[in-house]
A = this chain, B = another copy of it.
Amino acid sequence: MSDDFDISPEDLAARAAWLSFVGEMTQDQIAQELGISRQRAQRLVARAYAEGLVKVRIEHPVAQCLELERQLRNRFGLSKARVAPGLGERGEPLRAISPYAAHEFEQIFQDPAAKIIAFGTGRTLRAVIDQMQSVDGGHHKVVSVIGNVAPDGSASFYEVIMRIADKTNAPHYPMAVPVLARNDEEFALYRSLPHVQNTIALADQADVAIMGIGQMNENAPLLLDGFITRDELDELRKAGAVGEIGGHIFDQNGHYLDHRINDRMLGVRVPINESPVLCVGGGEQKIAPLKCALKGKLITSLITDETTAIEILR
Contact = CB atoms under 8 A, between A and B. Distances in A.
B95 A134 contact: no
Interface string A295-314: 00000000000110000000
Contact of A53 (B1, B13, B59, B112): B59
A14 B85 CA distance: 10
A58 to B, nearest CB: 5
Interface string A8-37: 101101110111011111000100010000
Interface-centre pick from A25, A58, A306 (highest chain B CB count, 10 A): A58
Nearest to A133: B59
Contact of A95 (B22, B29, B48, B307): B22
A96 interface: yes
A62 B1 contact: no
A63 B1 CA distance: 15
**Interface majority SS on A: helix, strand, loop or mixed?**
mixed
A221 B113 CA distance: 43
A35 to B, nearest CB: 11
A185 interface: no
Nearest to A34: B88
Given A23-B87, A112-B112, A53 B63 contact: no
4 closest Cβ contacts across the A-B interface?
Answer: A14-B60, A23-B87, A21-B56, A33-B88
